Structure 1
């Protein structure tokens, strides 16, 4: 059953040394139709330019922002995300990335579909680098950067990408019902109750790039919290960037952990939030 209550939301944004992209993302959160939320920036050791962007928004906007940061000791994204979960002030959490600009109704759509015992799996439209660089504050405020015709004029291709942005509430619901894509836990656009995250002990901190969010989703499903598809209704545009941290070794290791979680029906990882709390004692 859909829930129309005014639920306060903690939006956790993962970032690392992409201040220009983070600025665009925060413009998107300034422009939300839904206002009952805070922003928690999970920063995996960015340099000072990122802090400068965050400080500017904290000083000049109404956004409520927590900047959660740790030293750069290599890829430790899952660790800082677990810290951000513990710092989140509200009982409902939305995960996204510092390269994902939300549509104006993004939070409103998530809140409208909040359901006990489910996590919500939203969608994104991936932009090429040249177009990512072109997106301005005015493009975000006016919402033209979510207009399929405007994007096509600037070189965006791909029927699936444009179909998500073209969907109305009615057609979006139909497309989410018939899509063969699974309602997976994707760190760029997923929301869930904090109590469910704590029950499964958050992210597995052994994992690096290559599906740690999917592994968390698997453990949530093992616990009985199933995914609900809203990929054609809750939309963000995904700005392009390089992935220097991607390597076959980490991907293969992550796949082994994901397979083990599925095969053994693991619910609570021993390498999650509890480990973090023990380390602080």
Structure 2
């Protein structure tokens, strides 16, 4: 099956460069990489160009639109629409993915079934300490390093580091009582299923757009499975100046309404109207 990794980014070139280092370390590589850029400046383009030049064996495309504020849903819809892949793996440009990350997603995702995971969050100090070398040698996924950098404070986070063999962790994935709510920084979906629901609702900005997508996938009969404990992902800290509490309350109301209905199509998605 053809696969594509769609990576969303906005004006965070340092995190993007580190993220791409982790992408290059994948044991199972995606067929192509799409960097869905929500209006970043030339520093981001320079990072992408340098990565593509350093890895000619990888197919990299840079999809950009003008900065109009937080329009992640719109650029992701353009990426979905223009993709030639059958299955799409989604991450954000501020995460580091374990070398088995893409392979695990591709092993689980099926037509009518999406896969989604979770995050191990670094604070600002730990984020500043991350280097390309720590990504390439896998230190950023090491439990001791994560613990020393204050990232492991609960049993559930420790389990996200995949402390036991994958078959054992896969059982815990299936047993996890956590709702299979789609996490846009750690998800994979069959492209045909995304087209079935018309992609992201572009009226939903920061705060809830991924959950809303997941609810509509459920309404369309596309159910989620966990790789919460089998696809480690480390999140780099960053400010969120675009967070608007009033809009986030509106988005939560839209998610609640979607859960109570059987509606899965959005008129404000890939196709308009």
TM-score range, shorter chain: over 0.9
Q: Unaligned regions of 5+ residues in structure 2, if any?
A: none
The alignment partner of 2:4 has SS state of strand
8 A Cα contact 1:167 1:232, kept in partner? no
Does the CA contact (< 8 Å) of 2:208 and 2:251 recur in 1? yes
**Equivalent residue for 1:26?**
20
> Which residue of the partner structure matches residue 226 of structure 2?
229
Shift of 1:198: 0.3
1:44 corresponds in structure 2 to 38
What does residue 269 of structure 1 align with?
Answer: 266
Which residue of structure 1 lines up, in the alignment, with residue 109 of structure 2?
Answer: 114
What TM-score results when the alignment is normalised by the length of structure 2? 0.95
Number of equivalenced pairs: 270
User: What is the DSSP-based 3-state SS (H/G/I as helix, E as strand, rest coil) of the residue aligned with 2:179?
Assistant: coil
Q: Is the 8 A contact 1:57 1:63 kept in 2?
A: no
Deviation for aligned residue 1:262: 2.0
Offset, 1:201? 0.2
Distance 2:208 2:164 in 1: 28
The 8 Å contact of residues 167 and 233 in structure 1, kept in 2 or not, is answered as no
Please list every run of 5 or more consecutive structure 1 residues that lacks an aligned counterpart in the other structure: 1-6
Structure 1 residues 99-136: Cα deviation after superposition (integer angstroms, max 9, x where no partner)? 11110011111112122311001222111111112111
Alignment of 1:7-156 (within 5 A): 7-61=1-55, 62-156=57-151
Answer whether contact 2:212 2:258 (CA < 8 A) is retained.
yes
Moved over 6 A (4+): none
Conserved? CA contact 2:4–2:30, under 8 Å: no
Separation in 2 of the partners of 1:178 and 1:197?
27
Aligned partners of 1:100 and 1:239 also within 8 Å: yes
